[in-house]
Structure 1
Amino acid sequence: MTDSRQIQVAGLGSPHGDDQAGWEIVRALEKRGLSQAMVHYSRTPDDLLNWLDPAYPLVICDACRGGSPVGSVHRWQWPTTELDQVNWSGTHQIALPGVLSLAEELGQLPELVIIWGVEISETIPGDAISSKVSAGVERAVESICREWDVIRSLEVDHA
């Protein structure tokens, strides 16, 4: 039997400048002691296929370029065509929407998939994450924690 309060959290990114956003969100969530989280750090979206468990909700955190100001935070629930309008960070061979579609076809995709993106500008090797993106990371972390607390409280109320 699975614990319905468990959650999978994937941070996508790299050590290059603002592309660290997804990893930094996950690091911050770990520091907050999100005890129900099964955490994974990935460099590319296709790595998700190696460990996804369809029994648990999935939260994906990544840097993105969607035309909003740097540091803006976005939240999408899969499936959505809005993700086709977003440029994902890094040099992903298969973009995130393609990986999620493939996981769905393979029966590996959880019923609930939430994607959090933080707008970035540069991913220069060796650079630190910018202050605007760091602020976006913090906003994303706060939003994820609030949302997950609401989900858990609803499940406890209905248990």
Structure 2
Amino acid sequence: MRNGTQIMVAGIGSPHGDDQAGWEMAREMERRKFAHVSVKLARTPADLLDWIDPGMDLLICDACQGAGEPGSIHQWEWPCGQLDEIRWSGTHQMSLTGVLALAEQLGRLPQHVRIWAIELHSNHSGESLSAVVQAGVFSAVEAMCEDISNTVRQGEIEHA
């Protein structure tokens, strides 16, 4: 993340099964109470267009398919051509990459965009995450917190 800036954490998902992974990562980041971090939950990537602010770094959390083993954690910096090969969770009408490209064309894309994703175990519509995806969520959040904490140690943002 960047010097002394606000960070928006956007969790993309739904209340169904492993598709909750993005929401759970974002909620857990909110529980950590970092100063300068705000959290939003979205059902579709297009929701990001309503909130993103070019002055804030953007950290996107979502579930994906096709990037690795179930529960595995993935991180990308935008822009990244590899993202076109990934299937994102849910039934997004507009893809995450499409939304980020549109935001860029509109001059609304933050300078720093990082995407964190957890590989889905299944598309089941149950009420809870599968155990392997839940473990991935906790590991991803720890890695995200370490990234933010490294920034804090460098005196760039403060922890509440």
Q: 1:67 to 1:5 in 2, by over 3 A?
A: closer
Q: What displacement does 1:122 show?
A: 1.8
Q: What displacement does 1:67 show?
A: 4.1
Aligned residue in 2 for 1:51:
51
Deviations 1:67-98 (CA, angstroms, capped at 9, x unpaired)? 41100000000000010110000000111011
Q: What displacement does 1:156 show?
A: 3.5
Q: What displacement does 1:113 show?
A: 0.2
Between the aligned partners of 2:94 and 2:115, the Cα distance in structure 1 is 16
Runs (4+) of structure 1 exceeding 2 A deviation are: 123-127, 151-157
Aligned residue in 1 for 2:95:
95
SS in 2 for 1:143: helix
Q: What displacement does 1:155 show?
A: 4.7
Alignment of 1:98-137 (within 5 A): 98-137=98-137
> Which residue identity lines up with residue 43 of structure 1 in the other structure?
R
Assess if the C-alpha contact under 8 Å between 2:121 and 2:130 holds in 1: no
What are structure 1's unaligned runs of at least 5 residues? none
Between the aligned partners of 1:148 and 1:131, the Cα distance in structure 2 is 26
Aligned residue pairs: how many?
155
TM-score by length of 2: 0.91
SS in 1 for 2:97: helix
SS in 1 for 2:154: helix
Aligned residue in 2 for 1:149:
149
Assess if the C-alpha contact under 8 Å between 2:5 and 2:55 holds in 1: no
Assess if the C-alpha contact under 8 Å between 1:5 and 1:155 holds in 2: no
Alignment of 1:71-90 (within 5 A): 71-90=71-90
Between the aligned partners of 2:18 and 2:32, the Cα distance in structure 1 is 22
Assess if the C-alpha contact under 8 Å between 2:62 and 2:118 holds in 1: yes
Q: CA RMSD in A?
A: 1.6
Aligned residue in 2 for 1:6:
6
TM-score by length of 1: 0.92
Q: What displacement does 1:127 show?
A: 3.3
Between the aligned partners of 2:67 and 2:96, the Cα distance in structure 1 is 17
> Which residue identity lines up with residue 29 of structure 1 in the other structure?
M
Structure 1 residue 60 corresponds to structure 2 residue 60: yes
